[in-house]
Structure 1
Amino acid sequence: MARLLLDAAFDRPAQRSAALDRATGSEIWEAGRLHRVTPAIARAVRGWDELPDGWAPALRSARERQLLRHLQALEDLKGIGAALDRAGIAWAAVKGATLASVVWPHADMREYFDLDLLVQPAAFRDAVRIVEDVGGRLLDRNWPALRSSRRGELAMVGRHGTHVDVHWHLAVAPSVRRAFPLDVDAMLARRRRRELSGISVPMLDAEDQALHVAVHAAQAGANRLMWLADAYYVTADVAWDELARRSRAARASVPVALVLDRAYRVAGHDGVGCEELAGVASNAWGRLARSRDARHPFPGLPGDARLGGGVYAAARPSAAVSAGQLAAKHVQARLIGWRHRAGRDAVRPLQEDVPDVAAREAYFATAVSGGRR
């Protein structure tokens, strides 16, 4: 099953075996859902004469649902993007829709559920208003909690029902922004327009997109095949020296190097094809990551207790700081587990309607200043 996931994610015809034929449709669906590549599995097995019992409905449903979400997201993107352009606001589409349509080999391979838009921090308040003007609405409305959290995004819903995350920064949490000071204004200044399913959409340039994908994957634990395939595909056209330079400027060389090293190894290569980043991936923290992968080969499957990606999420410029981050994330993971078992994570406090004009103004002031206030 792990080999099937790899074949699917990297656009290879899947190898069939008697052991794999014994897997149920629900088992295949769960494994694909864990790594967000179930639609890609449907492509990978197209050459099989017939599918094992129960596979066809599960794979067909996953592919059709993703295509429907994709079309829905494109409609919301078309309306919001045109309104932002008319207002003269610098913006770019990032993550799901752009990666699925432009970076991956086929738009029906990668699952995504949200439309992520990065807007110029100074125009964030105006951008949120514009999304509302074209039929969107806010989900995050707990203004005291937002002011306290200083999150780099607001969750909204587009006119056509797509979950839209409007970012004023690519790093949502303040702690991540402090650790990796990405220059959002510079990224937006370098953006390029690309055709996305017939729509002209501004996107980050190749190096900024690769930097963002790798940092995001690291913070999420780099433990989903989708994130590693993102990192692999997005670096196809990068200028490696420039990516390495921008990674250094953002103090993100270690997480970028570790994620790309894992992505290239999982795709079947010895490692990343950049001398500087390969050297970083060979440092003490990189060797720790490789040794864990050697003991517990990637990708993990549903129910595997070793799926956590703390080593990647904790990656910082030095091994000592990384070790401290790993300890802190271990405690955080235990707290999250406790909250889940207690049923406390069913409540989404940011989406409670808590009007507070002063808190709202303070949050937008933080966003407009790029987090400096």
Structure 2
Amino acid sequence: MSLRAPTRAGRATAPLGLRPLARLLVDAAAGRPHDAPDELFAEDLGRVLAAGVLHRVTPAMARSLAAADAPDPWLAGLGAARHAQTLRHLRAVEDLKVTGAALDAAGIPWAVAKGPVLASVVWPSPDMREYYDLDLFVDAARFEEAIRVVLSTGGEQLDRNWPELRRSMRAEIAMTARHGTHLDLHWHVAVPERLRRQFPVDMAGMLRRARPVTIAPGVTMPTFDPVDTVHHVAFHAAQDGANRLMWLADVRYAVQDPGFDWDELARRAAAARTTVPVALVLDRAVRTVGLELPHGTSFDRARRGAWGSLARRRDRDHPFPGLPGDDRLGGNVYGAARPGTAASAACLLAYTLRARRVGRQHRARGTDGSPERPLQRDVADVTARAEYFARLAPGPGG
């Protein structure tokens, strides 16, 4: 484990050797006050704010520097980001109330994950975690009906390219809720079809085990149970490269729930074949935000294996957390983690080749600064739409 410098209270702080801005990011994500060194305030404020957005901890940076003698522009810029997140959270809660009530009225089992739940229930304060969307999960067999329900509340469907949806069989459709919050409606936590074949997550069980939580005064919503919450956020982090401090802090805070159990997490991860990717995320959280991982678990063994060693070596060569302008921020080693070194290596090679191909296509096509979003082309193919939903009828478990 990294050498850590003690604070005045004797508790760990950010790992030694980090760049000043990176140390601030880590302390912010871990919910610690930051004794800012003088060299930190030599940083360009624009780069500081960009780093906060990169790791989705800009509001937490404002809290971390609250007791520091920061320059006025810093306090104003970070304070504005914190205020903006508070407003986004309030709007998301209102959209969740409207959408959730409509799903309940239709008798559709559902659960909300990440965003407002992690901000309100898991993190120390709802103005720390920076998020921009809602993630709602429903049973696959009710997915078509759930889309209609969201639309009936004044929402809008963004992904409308039905031939592409049918081809990819993605387990989510992008929408917006009534008040404008981006809403990803899911029927599975593994969005690409290939991931569902590789990682057989018990989606029906996750919805069945959902529990109510209070995300605002008088607002109670269903979300995944404490073990499924940790499993979900760690698996999601791995698939996206585990390259944002927010995701590692999600895990650190979520394991503190009184209902969380390490042995049950190990059982569910083994059943879903997610032990290796989850272990790598846990290991990075241990090394950065102070997660305490018990010894002797399957995760402890997996993170010390060949692929875990490769991830740690990559982190030594390219220090985490990354900052704007750094090379290799993608985290493909984490996203490629599979049950077995050979399978992980093959996946990493495929990711590398795909990234190069996409890069060549991007350079050949040119860009106006707006990424192409094929799923949001309006292609109303009735046959493709019917075939997409027909594939969901048996449920996500197959």
Q: TM-score, length-normalised on structure 2? A: 0.90
The amino acid of 1:40's aligned partner reads A
Q: Does 1:212 align with 2:232?
A: yes
Structure 1 segments unaligned to the other structure (5+ residues): none
Contact 2:203–2:397 under 8 Å retained in 1: no
Alignment deviations for residues 9-40 of structure 1 (CA, whole Å, 9 cap, x no partner)? 00000121111011122121011011110010
Secondary structure class of the residue paired with 1:117: strand
1:188 is aligned to: 207
Alignment deviations for residues 118-157 of structure 1 (CA, whole Å, 9 cap, x no partner)? 0011111111111111111111111111111101011111
The amino acid of 1:357's aligned partner reads V
Q: Does 1:343 align with 2:367?
A: yes
Alignment deviations for residues 265-295 of structure 1 (CA, whole Å, 9 cap, x no partner)? 2123575556221011111111111222233
- Pick from 256, 278, 293: which aligns with 1:236? 256
- TM-superposed CA distance for 1:55, in Å, is 1.1
Secondary structure class of the residue paired with 1:370: coil
Contact 2:266–2:297 under 8 Å retained in 1: no
Q: 1:370 to 1:209 in 2, by over 3 A?
A: same
1:329 is aligned to: 351
1:69 is aligned to: 88
Contact 1:119–1:168 under 8 Å retained in 2: yes
Contact 1:89–1:123 under 8 Å retained in 2: yes
- TM-superposed CA distance for 1:371, in Å, is 4.9
Q: Does 1:299 align with 2:299?
A: no
- TM-superposed CA distance for 1:76, in Å, is 0.7
- TM-superposed CA distance for 1:338, in Å, is 3.4
Q: Does 1:110 align with 2:129?
A: yes
2:103 is aligned to: 84
Q: 1:197 to 1:339 in 2, by over 3 A?
A: farther
- TM-superposed CA distance for 1:347, in Å, is 2.2
1:170 is aligned to: 189
- TM-superposed CA distance for 1:79, in Å, is 0.6
Q: 1:42 to 1:338 in 2, by over 3 A?
A: farther
Contact 1:25–1:56 under 8 Å retained in 2: no
Contact 1:260–1:272 under 8 Å retained in 2: no
Structure 2 segments unaligned to the other structure (5+ residues): 1-20
1:160 is aligned to: 179
Secondary structure class of the residue paired with 2:214: strand
Contact 2:203–2:396 under 8 Å retained in 1: no
Secondary structure class of the residue paired with 2:91: helix
Contact 1:26–1:54 under 8 Å retained in 2: no
Q: Does 1:353 align with 2:372?
A: no
Q: 1:274 to 1:45 in 2, by over 3 A?
A: farther
2:392 is aligned to: 367
The amino acid of 1:42's aligned partner reads A
1:143 is aligned to: 162
Aligned counterparts of 1:364 and 1:57: Cα–Cα separation in 2: 49
Equivalenced residue count is 372
Contact 1:137–1:156 under 8 Å retained in 2: yes
User: What is the percent sequence identity of the aligned residues?
Assistant: 54
Moved more, 176-185 or 239-248: 176-185
Q: TM-score, length-normalised on structure 1? A: 0.96
CA RMSD of aligned residues (A): 1.7
Q: 1:43 to 1:368 in 2, by over 3 A?
A: farther
The amino acid of 1:346's aligned partner reads P
1:227 is aligned to: 247
Q: Does 1:252 align with 2:274?
A: yes
Q: 1:272 to 1:290 in 2, by over 3 A?
A: farther
Q: 1:290 to 1:100 in 2, by over 3 A?
A: same
Aligned counterparts of 1:339 and 1:58: Cα–Cα separation in 2: 37
- Pick from 43, 58, 66: which aligns with 1:46? 66
Q: Does 1:286 align with 2:295?
A: no
Aligned counterparts of 2:186 and 2:99: Cα–Cα separation in 1: 14
- Pick from 6, 12, 16: which aligns with 2:32? 12
Secondary structure class of the residue paired with 1:13: coil
Q: 1:55 to 1:349 in 2, by over 3 A?
A: same
